[in-house]
């Protein structure tokens, strides 16, 4: 590939929103480094897959090394991998706390910290993180304190990083989805989940992918938490 081709790193890329993001960035002309625990090889020579647990710092090392070895640069990081467990606060286990803080927080920290120097080396770049609308608009029907604890931290970090790097060419944004039709949510609960949104439906993978693509193409937007949640952030 030519050195002018931009490169996106996408986590949680094996299914759902992540798989949609891989396809979208390829349509934008990017080469993609796609990672998840269960990802398999791609037939597309411009999609490099790296299998691993994003909570593990070693995975971040391997992802960055693979991107540089294969494509020579990194221009965008999409922190899509995440875990969401909804249950009453006192029912959470220590194992679930470790899981959510590991994937949602440590995964973001390990990879973002390693990618940033390479964004700066290309003269700038973009970081997008997927959070959740429940951070800003909790719902008693979906008790999810651990998601708010971890994803809320990502929302705050998004704004902080955006300000820290605003004069150095790196934009940092986030998308806060409502409940999206992905393999994470069984079909038998779709009607219940749809009713939690003021617009009366669940989101589609394409809704989130389109939001990320918009942010990618919006050079004057940084520090933004873009709610794509069927009106949840406005209230219920």
Task: Please name the residue that has the structure tokens 């705050």.
Answer: 156
Mean pLDDT, residues 134-157 taken together: 90
Task: Please check the confidence at residue 56 and state whether its pLDDT lies above 70.
Answer: yes
Domains, the chain, ordered by start: 7-234 (3.40.50.720)
The pLDDT of residue 10 is above 60: yes
* Higher pLDDT among residues 136 and 236, named by residue: 136
Sign of the torsion formed by the C-alpha atoms of 191, 179, 82 and 134: negative
What lies within 8 Å, CB to CB, of 17 at 6+ separation is: 80, 130, 177, 180, 182, 205, 208, 209
What mean pLDDT value characterizes the chain?
94
228 neighbors 192 (Cβ within 8 angstroms) = no
The set of residues, in sequence order, having a beta carbon less than 8 Å from that of 166 and lying 6+ positions away, is: 222, 223
For the chain, state the CA radius of gyration: 17
Sign of CA dihedral 76, 221, 17, 95: positive
- DSSP secondary structure, 170-197, as one string: EEEEEEEE--B-STTS-GGGHHHHHTTS
- pLDDT band at 23; cut points 50, 70, 90: very high
- Order of strands across the sheet with 125-130? 47-51, 31-36, 7-11, 76-79, 125-130, 170-177, 225-228
Average pLDDT over residues 137-149: 88
Cβ-based burial of 94 (10 A; exposed 0-12, middle 13-18, buried ≥19): exposed
Residue 129 CA to residue 158 CA, distance in Å, equals 8
pLDDT in the model for residue 135: 86
> Which helix (H) or strand (E) covers residue 199, if one does?
none
């Amino acid at each position: 590939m030519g050195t002018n081709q931009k490169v996106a790193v996408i986590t949680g890329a094996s299914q759902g929103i992540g798989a949609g993001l891989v396809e979208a960035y390829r349509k934008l002309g990017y080469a993609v480094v796609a990672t998840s625990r269960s990802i398999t090889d791609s037939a597309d020579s411009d999609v490099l897959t790296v299998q691993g647990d994003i909570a593990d710092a070693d995975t971040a090392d391997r992802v960055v090394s693979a991107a540089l070895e294969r494509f020579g640069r990194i221009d965008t990081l999409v922190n899509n991998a995440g875990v969401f467990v909804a249950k009453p606060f006192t029912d959470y286990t220590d194992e679930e706390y470790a899981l959510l803080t590991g994937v949602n927080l440590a995964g973001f920290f390990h990879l973002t910290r390693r990618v940033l120097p390479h964004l700066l080396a290309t003269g700038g770049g973009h970081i997008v993180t997927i959070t959740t609308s429940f951070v800003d608009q909790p719902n008693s029907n979906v008790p999810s304190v651990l998601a708010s604890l971890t994803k809320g931290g990502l929302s705050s970090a998004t704004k902080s990083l955006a300000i820290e790097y605003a004069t150095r060419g790196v934009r940092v944004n986030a998308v806060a989805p409502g409940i999206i039709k992905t393999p994470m949510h069984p079909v038998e609960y779709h009607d219940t989940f749809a009713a939690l949104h003021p617009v009366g439906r669940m989101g589609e993978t394409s809704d989130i992918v389109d939001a990320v693509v918009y942010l990618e193409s919006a050079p004057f937007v940084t520090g933004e938490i873009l709610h794509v949640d069927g009106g949840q952030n406005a209230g219920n």
